[in-house]
Structure 1
C-alpha cells in the first residue's frame, strides 16, 4: 500500500485532474490528459518506480527509500531518497537507483531491469569479468578507454591498492608469472582471469581458498572484505565502451545494449580502441611473430621504446613476415632508428 500511494505521488496525481511527471518536463493542468502514448509510457515508468520501492522493501523491510510514511510523499516530489542501508549490496543498489530515477525516461524498462547484473548467476559474472579482461589486454596505457576503467578504482579497492586485501600466498603465486600493478583495475581483472584459467596449476591450499567452481571463485573476489564493487564498476565501463560489440551485447542483454550501443561505439572509435583496431594489432603481432627471435624479440624494445609505439602497429594490417618487416621498418624510421636489416633480417627474409 505504501509503495502504491507513493507511486501515485511520483506520477504527480493530485486528485484534482492535474498530472505531472516528477523531475520530468511533461505537465498538464486544468484537467487535461496526456496523449495515449504518453500516458502508457508514464504508466510503465510508474510501475518500474514501484518495483524499485518493492524491491528495496524486500531487501530492507525496516525502511523505505523515501523515508517514513509521514514524509514519504514530500520526499518523492522533492526527489529525496536514501539507499545507504543497501550500499553493501552494490548490484541491488545500482538497480534500485535506476528503477526509482526521478526522471521517468531515465528509468530502465522492465526487460532492462531483468537484464541487470543483480539477476546474473555468479558463474556468468565471473565469465563477464574475464571477457572484459581479455578485451583490455592490448589497450595501451594512455588510451582514454583504459582511463575510464582506471577512474573507477576507488569504487573497487579504494586508494590503498588491491594487494592489501589478498593473501600473501596468492600474491606470491601471481608474482611468479608476471608483474601486476596493485593500483590498476585492469591488472586486478587480469589476475582474476589468469588464476581462473590456470586454476589447476595452483597449490592445493590456494585452490581450496579460491573455491572449486566458478561461483565460489567469483564469490572469493567479490566478498565484502575484498572487491564487492568490482562487478558494477566493470559493468558500468562495459556499457560506456563495449555495448555495441556482439560479445558484450550478449552479456548486457538486447535492450540494455540497444540503449548504450550508439554512444559506446562512438566513444570506442574516438579512443582508437575499436574491435577492428584490436584485431589489426593482433594480426600485426601474429605476423611479426613469424620473424626470427633475433630479429623481433631481441630488438623489439629498441624499435619501440615507448609503450604506445607498439600499439601504433595496429595501423598496419599485415599477413606475412615480409609485410611485418616493412611495418616495423616504417615505425623504426619514424622513430629515427636505423633501418631493419643485417644478417638477422636477411635470414628472416
Structure 2
C-alpha cells in the first residue's frame, strides 16, 4: 500500500478509459520560540497556501543575528497534498481530496546534542529544567487533516483528529497498582516539573498551529479551520486545568520536602518494612523491592502523575529521561539492571501502563530475533507456565519488550537452596558470580525459601516437584503449538511468587515454530542454544525436532534434583561429554524413578526420548497417594492373572523380583508385622505378587489394624508409602515398567499413563 506522498509522486496518472488523476504537494515551515510559541520565521514557496494575500503576513523582513535568536526553537512543518480526478475526456472533476500534515522538528546546539535530553533554559534561570517535547535532531508528525468536497463520502471523524496510534494492543487490562511510597522527593519534584512543562509545550505548539490555520484562507484549509475552531475552547479549558494541577503539585512537593526535613516517620520516603512490602504483592507487581532500590518506586509514581496525559505525551515525546531511567512510549525503563544476555541483550526493571515489568532491551540490529520472540510469545503467553508479554516499544537503537516481572531464575533459586542447605553439593555452575549478584541472592533468601526444596530423605519436596512440573507443563504447551524452544536451561526458567512459587519458560529468541505437519527444522537451522544444555544433534548440526527440548529438560531436572550439578560434568567438558554420551546420574540413584526419567530424556537417540506430555505422567511426579493407588490397582490386576496358567504378565512381573525386592522381603520388615500378616495366610517372601497383596490388604484395612502395626507403618498416605519406599526403592518403577508394557491401554490404568491426573 502506498502512502499519499508516494502516490502523488507517481502522478499524473492516465487511465485506459481516458480518466486523469493529478496531484500536488506544497510545503511550509515555521520557526517558533519553544518556550513562548512566538512565531519567528515563515519559510514557504510563493504559491504556498500560507503566503496568499491576507491581512497578516508571517514573513520576517531581513535577517536576525544568531545571537538574538531564542535559546531553544522549534520548527513546525506543514505539508499540503491534493488529488483531483477528472471524468474521462472531460474537464469536469469526478472527485478531489486534500490532506494536510502538521509536524514538528527539534534541532539542538552542538553542546546540547551531546548533553542528554534534559536541557536548561538559560543562565538567568539556573533552577529551571524541562524536557523538550521532541529529542534533539528528530521529527514527528503530530496532526493530520483530510478534506474533500461534497462529492466524497461524509467525514468519518467528526472531531478532526486521527486516533493516536499505539505501539501494541493491550494484552491485559489489569488495574493500575497503588504507587510505591518509597520514592525520593527530589525525583518526584523533577518528574512533576518536567511533566507539567512538557504538557505546556505541547499546547503551545497546538496553539501556534491554531493561529496559523486561522490566518490562512486557502481552499485547502477550509476543513482544517473548522477543526481549529473546535480546538480553541478545549485548549483554553485544558490550560486552565493545568494551572490548577501545577499549583496542587507544587503544594505536594512542598509538603514532601517539609516531611523530609522534619524526619516525619509517615513521610513517603521512609522505606517500608519487609513484611509490608511482601503483602503489597497484591497490587499486581512481582518485583522485588529492596530498601535501597527506589527505581521501581519512581516508575510507579511517574506512571501515576502522567496517567491523564499519557497518550498525547507518548506521541510527542518518544523518549523522556529522568534520573531513575527513561520513558519510551508507554514504557518506563528504569536504570536498574536485572540481567544480561547474548548479543547485547540487557534486562531492566520497568513500568508498562502502571504495571511493574521486566524490560528486555534487544539491539535493533538483531530485530529478527526480537520479532521472532514477540511472535512466539504472543502465540503462547496465555499459559500459566509461559512468561507473559505485555507490549513492545523501540527507539533508534533498541527494541524494548515489556515482560512479566519475576523474582529470580530457576538457577538463582537452586543456588540459594544450595547455599543454605547443610547437605548441599558444591555448585560448580555458578563459578565467577559477581559479588553484586551474590548480594542479590542473599536478599532473596528470606523471601522465597518459605519451605525446603528437598525433604529429610533427600527427595524433592512437593514445592520442588511442582516447579519441575511447571517447566514440563510449559514445554507441553509450546510443543502443542509447534514451537521448539531450543534454549532451555535453568537461567531461562523464571520464578514468580504470588500465593506460591511458579516456574515459567522465557527467552524464546532462538525458538522456532514448525509449520503445518513439519516434524523437524532440518539440518541447518540458525541458532544452536547455550553451551552445555544442547542435545547432541544440536552440537553435531543434525536434524532438530521437539526432542532437543526433551534432552535439555533432562539436564534441567537433574540440575534441580542435585542442587545445581550437571549430568555431563563441569562446564568446560559438557559439550564433549554430551557428544560421547558420557553421562553420570550417580547423584540421583537414590530415587530410581528419577534415574529412569533422566535416562530416557538424555538418550542420545532422539527418537527414543519421551514426549513432554508423557513426562508429566511419569511416576517421578506422582504423589504418595498416587503411588499407593497404582500399586493397589496393580495387585488387583495381578490377582486376576493368578487364576490363569503361564501368564506373560505374571512371569514378567516376577522376573523383576531380584531388582525390585533385593532379596526376601520379610527380612526387611519388623517381626511384629510379619507375625501379624501370618495370622491370615501364608506368603512367599520372594514373590512380588505376594508383597503387593500384603500392601493392598493392609491399606484397605488400615483402620482395623492394631495400634502397634499402625505405628510401624505410619500414617496414610505419606507414612505408609514411605515405609515401603525406603525398604523397596525399586519396587514402584519395576512394577510400572511391566504394567506399562501389558496394561497401559486398559481403562483402569489410563489415569496412570496420561497427564490429565496431574
Distance change in 2, residues 1:105/1:228 (3 Å): same
Which of 93, 106, 121 is the aligned partner of 2:595? 93
The answer on 1:72 being equivalent to 2:562 is no
Q: Is 2:625 the partner of 1:103? A: no
Going from structure 1 to structure 2, the CA distance change for 1:171 and 1:71 (only over 3 Å counts) comes to same
Greater C-alpha Rg: 2
Alpha-carbon offset, residue 142 of structure 1: 3.3
Correspondence 1:49 to 2:575: no
Aligned partner (choices 698, 701, 704) of residue 201 of structure 1 = 704
Contact 2:568/2:584 (<8 A) preserved: yes
Report how far residue 9 of structure 1 moved.
Answer: 5.4
Aligned to 2:583: 81
TM-score, length of structure 1 as denominator length:
0.62
Superposed displacement of residue 144, structure 1? 2.0
2:666: which partner in 1?
163
1:192 pairs with 2:695: yes
Q: Identify which range, 135-144 or 227-236, moves more after superposition.
A: 135-144
Residue 20 (1) aligns with residue 542 (2): yes
Deviations 1:138-197 (A, max 9, x none): 323632211111111122221x31111011111111111111100001111011001111
Distance in 1, Cα, partners of 2:731 & 2:548: 30
Q: Which residue of 2 aligns with 1:11?
A: 537
- Residue 339 (structure 1) aligns with: none
Q: Which residue does the alignment assign to 2:656?
A: 152
Q: Using the alignment, how far apart are the partners of 1:233 and 1:13 within structure 2?
A: 34
- Find the counterpart in structure 2 of residue 236 from structure 1: 737
Shift of 1:255: 9.2
Name the count of aligned residue pairs.
229
* 1:85 CA displacement: 1.6
Instruction: Note the C-alpha offset of 1:100.
Output: 1.1
Is residue 75–residue 81 contact of structure 1 (8 Å, CA) maintained in 2?
Answer: yes
2:638, 2:535 → 1: CA distance?
45
Match of 2:619 in 1: 117
Question: What whole-Å deviation, never above 9, does each CA across 1:259-316 have from its counterpart, x for those lacking one?
Answer: xxxxxxxxxxxxxxxxxxxxxxxxxxxxxxxxxxxxxxxxxxxxxxxxxxxxxxxxxx
Kindly tell me: are residues 156 and 9 of structure 1, through their superposed partners in 2, closer, same or farther at Cα, counting changes over 3 Å?
closer
When residues 231 and 9 of structure 1 are mapped into structure 2, their CA distance, relative to the original with a 3 A threshold, is closer
Structure 1, unmatched stretches of 5+, are 22-38, 257-349
Cα distance change on mapping 1:178 and 1:71 into 2, 3 Å: same
Any gaps of 5 or more consecutive residues in structure 2? 1-410, 412-428, 430-488, 490-529
Q: In the aligned structure 2, how far is the partner of 1:62 from the partner of 1:109?
A: 24
Structure 2 matches for 1:293-312, cutoff 5 A? none
* Aligned-pair CA distance for 1:123: 0.5
Residue 173 to residue 63, structure 1, CA distance change in 2 (3 Å):
same
Match of 1:25 in 2: none
Greater strand share, structure number: 2
Aligned to 1:142: 646
Per the TM alignment, residue 10 of structure 1 is displaced from its structure 2 partner at its CA by 1.7
Tell me if structure 2 keeps the 8 A contact 1:65–1:81.
yes
In structure 1, what is the Cα distance between the partners aligned to 2:593 and 2:682?
Answer: 30
1:179 to 665, 678, 682: 682
Is 1:253 the counterpart of 2:725? The answer is no
8 A contact 1:111–1:255 mirrored in 2: no
Offset, 1:231: 0.9
Alpha-carbon separation, structure 2, partners of 1:214 and 1:61: 27
Native 8 Å contact 1:112 1:255 kept in 2 = no
Please tell me whether the aligned partners of residues 532 and 571 of structure 2 are also in contact (alpha carbons under 8 angstroms): no
Q: Distance in 1 between matches of 2:755 and 2:556?
A: 25
CA contact (8 A) 1:125 1:218 kept: yes
- Provide, for residues 204-251 of structure 1, a one-character-per-residue CA deviation record: whole Å limited to 9, x for no partner: 11112212322221111112xx01111111111111110110111122
Distance 2:588 2:533 in 1: 21
Pick 1 or 2: higher relative contact order, CA cutoff 8 A, min separation 6. 1
Q: Larger helix proportion, structure 1 or 2? A: 1
For 2:714 and 2:533, the matched residues in 1 are separated by: 44
Query: 1:285 maps to what in 2?
Result: none
- The 8 Å contact of residues 9 and 73 in structure 1, kept in 2 or not, is answered as no
Q: Do the aligned partners of residues 7 and 199 (structure 1) sit closer, same or farther apart at CA in structure 2, a change above 3 Å counting?
A: same
How much is the aligned-residue C-alpha RMSD, in angstroms?
A: 2.1
Using structure 2 for the length normalisation, give the TM-score. 0.29
